[in-house]
Amino acid sequence: MTDSLTLRRPDDWHLHLRDGAMLEAVLPETARHFARAIIMPNLVPPVVTAAQAAAYRERILKALPEGMDFTPLMTLYLTEETDPEDVTAAYANGIAQAVKLYPAGATTNSASGVRDFDRVRPVLEAMAAIGMPLCVHGEVTDPEIDIFDREAVFIDRVLDPIRRATPGLRVVMEHITTAEGVAYVRANPTGLGATITTHHLVINRNHILVGGIKPHYYCLPVAKRESHRLALREAAMSGDARFFLGTDSAPHVDPLKECACGCAGCFTATNTLSILAEVFEQDVRLDRLEGFTSLHGPAFYGLPPNEARITLTKGALVAYPAKIETGAGPVTVFDPGFPLHWHVS
Ligand code: DOR
Ligand code: ZN
């Protein structure tokens, strides 16, 4: 039985750090274990320009506790006014690694996102020309479409047409939640990858709704039925390099989760690696964990994998706080619903 595992230090290819007091509190939770992360730009107001991304990067580095080694990889929030030249310069100068597409109204702070996809065509063409990845929140916002179908419909109505119209555009389907998402990646061998979150490997929609509503399991895209969770697990553990970890760890203070109209987001930074080790062990796939957490993401983004290593050791129960205290209020840590035994060092 394996009880110790050494991996290259992982990266998180989709992370929300927020700003101010929240940033200060959540950043160490990620930096403790992860070397790099793709930082989501959905602040209020959003991080749209290269100058805003550079300033946000500075605020992140300033909030990083002494002695911690962490590199934020910045993204630009795509709007219908985004200037293609600003984007290409940000990529060339190393200020931003990717652009984030939020359909307007799809999720938290997405009001400035894209309504008319034709209006961002020049930006997408410029990105395709230089190989800059587009990170996509893949849900339609059409009120007629059932929330559980919004990812699958987005693939057909929006993503596939965009990819066909923009040859060479490199796309990351962020936080996929469906068997359709997995199948679309598999059917399109070039220029397409997908991140999978920790929580979508653990919960299905029953966890949110059965036996009382569980606001801390509510996120977007919302967790789907069990067959989809199993498809995600199979993809994450398949060894296919197009699937990699993006936690989408998304802190909201408890009063904004535990209320009549709760925010979407699961905060998993604190215990993500212990959960993933447990999940891969459950499926007898610990040998595939390093690819998912530490190798496939860098390969997609054209970056070297980290040289540093972490060790996961199986032992007594892993203790983690139910909540972390932040200057903005308490944030509940994701509870996977099973005990954790894998310690990270
Ligand atoms: O659950 C989510 N939370 N999904 C998103 O797409 C956004 C995120 C957030 O920023 O809170
Ligand atoms: Zn996100």
Active site residue 335: no
Average the pLDDT over 146-171 and give the result: 97
Q: Write the pLDDT tens digit of every residue in 124-158.
A: 999 999 999 999 999 999 999 999 999 999 999 99
Residue 135 to residues 6, 38, 50, 159, 169, Cα–Cα distance (Å): 30, 10, 16, 11, 11
Q: Taking Cα atoms as reference points, which of 278, 280, 283, 254 lies closest to residue 266? A: 254
Residues spanned by the domain of 41: 4-344
Q: What is the CATH number of the domain that holds 36?
A: 3.20.20.140
Catalytic one of 160, 240, 248, 287: 248
Check residue 111 and give its pLDDT: 85
CA 248 – ligand 2 centroid, Å: 5
Q: Which residues line ligand 1 (CB under 6 A)?
A: 16, 42, 107-108, 137, 219-220, 250, 264-265
Q: Which ligand is nearest to the CA of 221?
A: 1
Average the pLDDT over 317-335 and give the result: 98
Q: Write the pLDDT tens digit of every residue in 302-317.
A: 999 999 999 999 999 9
User: For a substitution probing ligand 1, which of 172, 220, 247, 334 has the most ligand atoms within 8 Å of its CB?
Assistant: 220
CA 104 – ligand 1 centroid, Å: 13
Contact 195, 13 (CB under 8 A): yes
Q: How many domains would you assign to the chain?
A: 1
Average the pLDDT over 7-31 and give the result: 98
User: For a substitution probing ligand 1, which of 174, 196, 248, 257 has the most ligand atoms within 8 Å of its CB?
Assistant: 248
Q: Write the pLDDT tens digit of every residue in 216-271.
A: 999 999 999 999 999 999 999 999 999 999 999 999 999 999 999 999 999 999 99
Check residue 1 and give its pLDDT: 65
Alpha helices in the chain (DSSP H): 20-31, 50-63, 84-92, 121-130, 150-154, 160-165, 179-187, 199-202, 205-209, 226-236, 254-257, 272-282, 289-290, 296-301
Dihedral of the CA atoms 57, 59, 65, 67 (nearest 10)?
40
Ligand 1: atom nearest CA of 221 is 4
